[in-house]
Amino acid sequence: MSLKDRITDDMKAAMRAKDAPRLLAIRGLLAAVKQREVDERIVLDDAAVVAIVDKLVKQRKDSIEQFTAGGRQDLVDKEKAELQVLEGYLPARLGADAIAAEVAALVAETGASGAADMGRVMAAAKARFAGRAEMALVSAAVKAALAR
């Protein structure tokens, strides 16, 4: 079963259970998926859907930060609930040690030797770590690996 099918099934289950907050988050996710499919006239695979989920998770985290600064606890709670639903569709996140190990392998594979090669390594890392790690952590690991 593809990730998109799983999301659709979860939406149906949320409808039956009358779980409004979960349903709202899932509908927003499906709307973003369908919008991209229509815009690009393609059918998205699981990796592309994970990229969309990752983008929406990042948006929720930014919103939580802004609403917290603005003192809007009601909106913070709403965004946290949506964030929890969306994170359920992401693959397990890698730890710092696993990221460092994979980055070291990437640096060896690409033959990168200095800070000038950061773009080449990050391009390969973006494909390898899609949805599995925060890219800020990956970037820091690449900088550290290339500094050696």
pLDDT surpasses 90 at 107: no
In this structure, the answer to whether residues 53 and 104 fall within a common structural domain is no
* CATH number of the structural domain spanning residue 128: 1.10.10.410
The two tokens of residue 144 are 């550290």
CA distance 105 to 73: 43
pLDDT in tens, 26-57: 999 999 999 999 999 999 988 889 889 989 99
3-state DSSP helix/strand/coil percent for the chain, to nearest 5? 80, 0, 20
Last residue of a domain, one of 52, 69, 87: 87
Q: What is the pLDDT confidence band of residue 129, given thresholds at 50, 70 and 90?
A: confident
Domain count, the chain: 2
**Residues 82 and 142 occupy one common structural domain:** no
Whole domain around residue 102: which residue ranges?
96-147
Q: For the domain that residue 80 is a member of, what is the CATH number? A: 1.10.1510.10
Instruction: Please give the structure tokens belonging to residue 111.
Output: 């033959």
| CA–CA gap between residue 111 and residue 79 (Å, rounded) | 42
Q: To 5 degrees, how large is the angle CA 48–CA 49–CA 52? A: 90
Condensed to tens digits (0 to 9), the pLDDT of residues 66-103 reads 999 999 999 999 999 999 999 999 888 888 888 888 88
Are 29 and 83 members of one domain? Answer: yes
* pTM score, whole prediction: 0.78
User: If you average pLDDT over residues 107-118, what whole number do you get?
Assistant: 79
Dihedral sign for Cα 41, 84, 70, 137, please.
negative
